[in-house]
Amino acid sequence: MTPNRLQRPKSQDDILSHGWSSTSSTCPDKQHGCNVDHEGASHKHHQSSGTCCLRSLDPDESSWLNDLGEITDLSRDVERGPPNFERVVLSIDGLQCGCCEGGISRTIDRISAIRNHQLNVVLARLELELDTNHLSVTDVIRRLKSKTGYTFVEQVAPAGQILELVTSAPTTIQDAGTPFGVTCMEFPFQEQPWHASLTLGGCNSTTLSGDETCQRSRSTILRVHYVAEDIGARDIFEYYQKFDESLRLAAPAAHPSLAMGARQTNQASKYFVAALSCTLPVVVLAWAPVNHTNISYSHVSLALATVVQVIAFKEFVPTALRSLWHAHVFEMDFLIALSSGLAYAFSVISYALQIMGRPLETGCFFETSTLLVTLILLGRVINEFARYRAAKSVSFRSLQADDALLVLPNSPNPADPRTRTIDARLLQYGDHFKIAPHTRIVTDGIILFGGSEVDESMITGESIPVAKGVHSKVFAGTMNGGGALVAKLTALTHENSVHKIAALVENAELTKPRTQALADRIAGWFVPAIATIGTFVFLGWLIYERYDMKGSWRVAIVRALTFAIATLVVSCPCAIGLAVPMVILIAGGVAARFGVIFRDPQKLEVARNVTDIVFDKTGTLTCGVLTVVSEDLQGVHAGKVKGTLLSLLQNVQHPVAIGVLRHLEREASLDPIEVIPIVNMSSISGSGIRGTCAQSKLEVHAGHPDWLDVAVDDTRCTLMCVTIDGELSATFKLKDRARHTAAVVIEKLHERGIHTHMISGDGQGAVDDIAHTLGITKPNTKARCTPEGKMNYVKDLQQPGKIVMFVGDGTNDSVALKQADVGVHINQSSDVAKSAADIVLMTTRLHDILILLDISRAAYRRIIVNFIWAAMYNLAAVLLASGVLTKAMKSARISPEYAGLGELVSVLPVVLIAFQMRWVNWGKRYRDIEYDYLRVDEPMQQSVVRTRSQYSSEAAEEKRWMCSPMRRLRRVDSAMVEPKQASKQFKVVRDISSSEGSL
């Protein structure tokens, strides 16, 4: 018999035999591919479709499972299986400062299913490594909320692409089925019957947040999971629109951290306005020149003060008591609730004595408790608003444009096509989109028609526009100039440059630097210390007023209480708790705006102490564009070398291989070369590549002379040797060129006392040539380095007291980047997510290293200033509030009604100190030096007249001078703008033709 309302299951076997699931278990019927967590739900399997559908349990049915006790626990252990740790990110509603963090951390430490956790106070975000086989996310959220009092909401990172639609006919839509490419269709915000969720391919519906309202109807949201390579969002929308003409896109949900920050700011503002409206009449009645013995005034003050106290109780008491009871932590809310409660209680006692005709000398002081609470709430509003603005200021997601100009097919003029405006979420692969002048580029793409200049400062930090032409790449979030462009889409909005950089920055924000641990320890002891000081202040003043001043007990208690309340409230640990994370958050966002991405914020603190910087040569200090200056073919296989290399080097990304392949392709365009197929190719990192001729079966090796054991005279060129069947058949000599500003950056590093080193896989002659040009001493260079050799070089430098930074372009540098104390990757594309480095430079500008060091030092200085300010404020505030200085100066005290300003006065400077970093134009002086240096060092100055804006991309400029046989016009990007268009936009003096190797 199937369990129902009349029949309770008696054992775990009874549950499993009838298809019920235990709490936090995984569906036991794996043959249907179900991976849905059955947290408080039952399930049924459809043998025809192989899908798993859910229905919510009734309260009576849920109690059957809960009553099983040990049987359910035993089942959980059996079904759990091996640990399955997953990354879970939660938003926290109500988190205030570092003191609040202590209770959450202690609660998490008691949950065995959680392995690691990181908490960011400014963003109110918590990251967990959770064993989902042991405990579900829902269980963790429920437990954390019950123990801490805060509201936790999961931030879901959907796997694959998701489209949310609003429909008025969910049944019709469900009956319509799913087109090819759609993997899951569901109604997450609808109270559905047990069959309402249609799951295809094992879509896990429990990973969807249940608190994503955002004023969206809970009965009409349709969420569609799909594979973007198989079907597009616009195709899905048009498919379901045939069944529901009112179908529309759901409003885009705000980012969880920003939405939570806005909600907390609004809630704090409402509390403050309500408290202020009640406080003003009380203050007026207390301070106005009226007859204070009139009992009606006291009645009104009591009523209004009670309303304020109710607001304070709701805001401060629940969280304070939960933290004290469950986590055994004193939070600042506890001191606030205690202080305001005591002030209100004694005001009520004073009111009662006045009613009985025995008024206190101080009279009723309802204004103390009401003004105290109101000013504290004002501080909370400013605090929440500052944190929200800080999070919003460093968010890259605001750079994503909402609408796109979709190019309609069969337009008569492809350069000026017909378009229609669509939501950016409806773009799909294969689309062409138009970029109107002076608009934000909606997503990544490749230009098909047109020319313009694009402001990429929001991605790279470079304020000078970059010229774009046909075949140039454009990136989402950048701003188009005065020209119209038509581009082909290369990335959807959920995977473009803005999304990748935003995700990278947001993930890095959760990592804590070392100084944060010190701040957390201080904040953890702060509240108990202040509570102890407040107790001594109360006792001290009580004894002084009663015995030294010979006052009555009533007067002594009231006066001692006012000093104690002021002491408890005026001190604020929030300044200490926010001193580090606020600066780290702003510094990381500012650095990202200038093209420096900190993947690990801990390195923001370490970078300021760097003593040695090790540079990889090729592609880092040099342009990375090697040109063949000579070739020497020899041996019996000399005639086969070029055809063999055209096949062998076709997909190799090393700069040497690219240089040789480009040289051979140029020759083949003039005189065709027969390509010899190569099979069984394999690349040897740091050495070369090998393969086998498909026809003759001869072994072919191409690479470094040392790897091939070939004796070649050491020259100032980079060498690539080729052996066929063990015999040397060819030697290619290539030349690279140091970057224009590399010498300037090296000189600036030396002025800071930083030692510079250069290592390379090239021969000693080529390394010595570049080192001499840049001013790097020969003992600090090393040639013929393998990837392991680079790692060992860095390891040998890492002696006590030395902090080593390694800078490379990612080619064979991964192990060295990991070994270094700070690994810096000079990015050559928009995809920063694949880098193994701690820090990624979004451009090839070497002066970004100086910006990196400047931001690191500036951030550390601001952290120190924040700590000093927090210490000075709390010391001065406690001395003034406790009345220690009243004997020397009677007015040298802080009254309890004004003590509520403590949070505002202490936190606001911390926020301003951090925000000041956003107002600095980092690297401006380095860019000025770079432009001046480039202007002086301009090769062929008589050939082309340039303006300063033409140097916005040093790497492409150098590549143009090294590679372009037709130096016709400015080409900042990797693609040539069409001559007719370029002649209208750029100043051309004359055409120059020269051979590739002339430089």
Non-local CB neighbours of 51 within 8 Å, separated by 6+ positions: 32, 34, 45, 198, 199, 200
Q: How far is the C-alpha of 450 from the C-alpha of 470, rounded, in Å? A: 7
- pLDDT, one tens digit per residue, over 82-98 is 778 888 888 887 776 65
Most confident option among 200-214, 248-262, 942-956, 972-986? 248-262
Is residue 492 a contact partner of residue 161, using CB atoms and an 8 Å limit? yes
Task: Assign 208 a pLDDT band (cuts: 50, 70, 90).
Answer: very low
The half-sphere exposure of 3 on its side-chain side, counting CA atoms within 13 A, is 24
Is residue 21 a contact partner of residue 38, using CB atoms and an 8 Å limit? yes
- Is residue 979 scored above 80 in pLDDT? no
Non-local CB neighbours of 93 within 8 Å, separated by 6+ positions: 124, 150, 151, 152, 153, 260, 263, 264
Task: Assign 831 a pLDDT band (cuts: 50, 70, 90).
Answer: low
Over residues 961-965, the mean pLDDT reads: 35
Amino acid at 117: H
Q: Does the annotation mark 616 as catalytic?
A: yes
Q: Max alpha carbon distance in the chain (Å)?
A: 122
Supply the pLDDT for residue 159.
54
- Is residue 947 scored above 80 in pLDDT? no
497 closest CA partner among 592, 627, 408, 392: 592
Q: How far is the C-alpha of 815 from the C-alpha of 828, rounded, in Å? A: 18
Supply the pLDDT for residue 931.
67
C-beta contacts of 976-981 below 8 A and 24+ residues apart:
976/469, 976/470, 976/471, 977/451, 977/467, 977/468, 977/469, 977/470, 977/472, 978/451, 978/469, 978/470, 981/450, 981/451, 981/469
From residue 566, alpha-carbon distances to 377, 530, 902, 906 in Å are: 16, 11, 10, 15
Burial 356-371 (b: 16+ CB within 10 A, else e): eeebbeebbbbbbbbb
Q: Percent of the chain at pLDDT above 90?
A: 19
Over residues 237-250, the mean pLDDT reads: 88
Amino acid at 706: D
Supply the pLDDT for residue 420.
93
More confident residue, 933 or 325: 325
Tell me the three-class secondary structure of 638-693, residue by residue: HHHHHHHHHHHCCCCCCHHHHHHHHHHHHHHHHCCCCCCCEEEEEEECCCEEEEEE
Fold of 592-621+738-853: Rossmann fold (3.40.50)
- Is residue 394 scored above 90 in pLDDT? no
pTM above 0.85, yes or no: no
Over residues 865-885, the mean pLDDT reads: 91
First-residue to last-residue Cα distance in the chain: 88
Supply the pLDDT for residue 836.
66
Q: How far is the C-alpha of 236 from the C-alpha of 928, rounded, in Å? A: 51
- Is residue 49 scored above 60 in pLDDT? no
Q: How far is the C-alpha of 766 from the C-alpha of 576, rounded, in Å? A: 53
Supply the pLDDT for residue 286.
79
Q: How far is the C-alpha of 807 from the C-alpha of 816, rounded, in Å? A: 9
Beta pairing partners, 632: 731
- Is residue 611 scored above 90 in pLDDT? yes
Q: How far is the C-alpha of 314 from the C-alpha of 377, rounded, in Å? A: 12
Chain mean pLDDT for the chain: 76
- How many other CB atoms are there within 10 angstroms of residue 382's CB atom? 19
Is residue 585 a contact partner of residue 122, using CB atoms and an 8 Å limit? yes
CA angle in degrees (0–180, nearest 5) for 358-883-555: 15
Tokens encoding 983: 């002649």
Q: Which residue carries 């007026």 as its tokens?
A: 284
Supply the pLDDT for residue 982.
34
- pLDDT, one tens digit per residue, over 682-698 is 888 778 899 999 888 88
- Is residue 57 scored above 60 in pLDDT? no
From residue 919, alpha-carbon distances to 585, 601, 687, 957 in Å are: 15, 21, 47, 30
Over residues 530-549, the mean pLDDT reads: 90
Supply the pLDDT for residue 405.
94
Supply the pLDDT for residue 16.
39
The half-sphere exposure of 396 on its side-chain side, counting CA atoms within 13 A, is 32
Task: Assign 212 a pLDDT band (cuts: 50, 70, 90).
Answer: very low
Amino acid at 85: F
Supply the pLDDT for residue 484.
92
Tokens encoding 256: 């969880």
From residue 873, alpha-carbon distances to 120, 876, 905, 922, 964 in Å are: 24, 5, 9, 30, 63
445 closest CA partner among 398, 405, 486, 407: 486
From residue 748, alpha-carbon distances to 480, 591, 914, 925 in Å are: 34, 20, 27, 12
| 353 burial level (CB within 10 Å; 0-12, 13-18, 19+) | middle
Q: What share of the chain is helix, strand, coil (3-state, %, to 5)?
A: 45, 15, 35
Supply the pLDDT for residue 30.
35
Q: How far is the C-alpha of 806 from the C-alpha of 793, rounded, in Å? A: 10
Task: Assign 623 a pLDDT band (cuts: 50, 70, 90).
Answer: confident
Provide the residue ranges of all domains of the chain, joining segments of one domain with +: 12-80, 85-155, 161-256, 262-376, 398-498, 592-621+738-853, 627-735, 938-998
The half-sphere exposure of 182 on its side-chain side, counting CA atoms within 13 A, is 22
Supply the pLDDT for residue 80.
55
610 closest CA partner among 755, 511, 744: 755
- Is residue 755 scored above 80 in pLDDT? yes
How many residues in total does the chain contain?
A: 999
Q: Percent of the chain at pLDDT above 70?
A: 76
**Residue 919 C-alpha from the chain's centroid:** 21
- pLDDT, one tens digit per residue, over 310-342 is 998 888 888 778 777 766 777 777 778 888 888
Question: Domain 627-735 is in which class?
Answer: alpha beta
Q: How far is the C-alpha of 467 from the C-alpha of 481, rounded, in Å? A: 9
More confident residue, 396 or 543: 543
Supply the pLDDT for residue 988.
28
Is residue 446 a contact partner of residue 431, using CB atoms and an 8 Å limit? no
Q: How far is the C-alpha of 372 from the C-alpha of 315, rounded, in Å? A: 14
Over residues 656-676, the mean pLDDT reads: 88
- Is residue 36 scored above 60 in pLDDT? no
88 closest CA partner among 116, 111, 107, 109: 116
- State the catalytic residue, choosing from 616, 809, 821, 854: 616
Q: How far is the C-alpha of 816 from the C-alpha of 810, rounded, in Å? A: 10
Over residues 591-617, the mean pLDDT reads: 88
904 closest CA partner among 120, 338, 381: 381
From residue 215, alpha-carbon distances to 635, 717, 836 in Å are: 78, 66, 41
Supply the pLDDT for residue 609.
92
From residue 210, alpha-carbon distances to 72, 94, 161, 650, 797 in Å are: 25, 19, 19, 51, 52
Supply the pLDDT for residue 12.
40
- pLDDT, one tens digit per residue, over 428-483 is 999 999 999 999 999 999 999 999 999 887 776 666 788 888 999 999 988 998 89
Non-local CB neighbours of 442 within 8 Å, separated by 6+ positions: 400, 401, 403, 404, 424, 427, 433, 435, 476, 493
Is residue 889 a contact partner of residue 336, using CB atoms and an 8 Å limit? no
What is the secondary structure of 871-902 as a DSSP string? HHHHHHHHHHHHTTTTTT-TT-S--GGGGGGH
Supply the pLDDT for residue 327.
65
Q: How far is the C-alpha of 903 from the C-alpha of 905, rounded, in Å? A: 6
E-only strand ranges, 235-345: 248-249
Tokens encoding 526: 């702060």
Is residue 203 a contact partner of residue 132, using CB atoms and an 8 Å limit? no
Cα radius of gyration rounded to whole Å, the chain: 35
Is residue 536 a contact partner of residue 543, using CB atoms and an 8 Å limit? no
Over residues 657-679, the mean pLDDT reads: 88
Supply the pLDDT for residue 97.
61
- pLDDT, one tens digit per residue, over 402-435 is 899 999 988 888 888 999 999 999 999 999 999 9
Fold of 398-498: 2.70.150
Architecture of the domain delimited by 85-155: 2-Layer Sandwich (3.30)
- Measured in degrees and rounded to the nearest 5, phi and psi for residue 789 equal -65, -40
- Measured in degrees and rounded to the nearest 5, phi and psi for residue 227 equal -100, 115
Q: How far is the C-alpha of 617 from the C-alpha of 769, rounded, in Å? A: 11
